[in-house]
Amino acid sequence: MAIGERIHFFRIMRGMTQKYLGMLVGFPERSADVRLAQYETGSRKPKTDLTAALAQALDVVPQALDIPDIDSYIGLMHTLFALEDNYGLTITEADGEVCLKVNKDKSKNAAELLKMLSAWKEQADKLSTEEISKEEYDQWRYNYPKFDTTQHWEKAPSKELSDALVEAFKDRLPKD
């Protein structure tokens, strides 16, 4: 799904108008709805800082907005092929049904993906048994990994911060 469609999806889910969301991210009131419509229709693609602002206003992580192109079956298939290559996703059959499975022995990435999928299944099971509401489930999904308590996540500095630190301390780096 394209980023514009994701923005639209979350905006509607949150009960916001285009004008309201546009103003939340700093567009002038007179053009906020027009500007947001340009992003939702795909005539413009938001830059990283605007994507971050939209995500914050919509109470999701930026990655929930900017996901791979799965709008077509072909795009979805290539996304699955990439998951096979990078994370050990395999296609199999169980009880006459086609299933996707992670071969955790393929690589460290595959083992990590399996942990993440297991955390997702745990939340889906809680939804199924009504331990959590649909809203809590969606909050977990759309802010992943923020609310994932099954793993320990390391915060890495942004590229901008990393570049700024390198620049600030470049005179202290050893010369080659």
CA angle 46, 50, 53 (to 5 degrees): 140
pTM value surpassing 0.75: no
10 Å Cβ neighbour count for 44? Answer: 14
Phi, psi of 89, rounded to the nearest 5 degrees: -70, 135
Question: pLDDT 10s per residue in the chain (176 long)?
Answer: 588 988 999 999 999 999 999 999 999 999 999 999 999 999 999 999 999 999 999 999 888 888 777 777 887 888 888 788 878 899 999 999 999 999 888 888 888 889 999 999 999 999 999 999 999 999 999 998 888 877 654 555 566 666 776 677 677 766 65
Q: Provide the residue ranges of all domains of the chain, joining segments of one domain with +.
A: 3-65, 73-142
b/e for 45-62, b at 16 or more Cβ within 10 A? ebeeebbbbbbebbebbb
User: Which of these CATH numbers, 3.30.70.60, 1.10.260.40, 3.30.365.10, 3.10.105.10, describes 3-65?
Assistant: 1.10.260.40
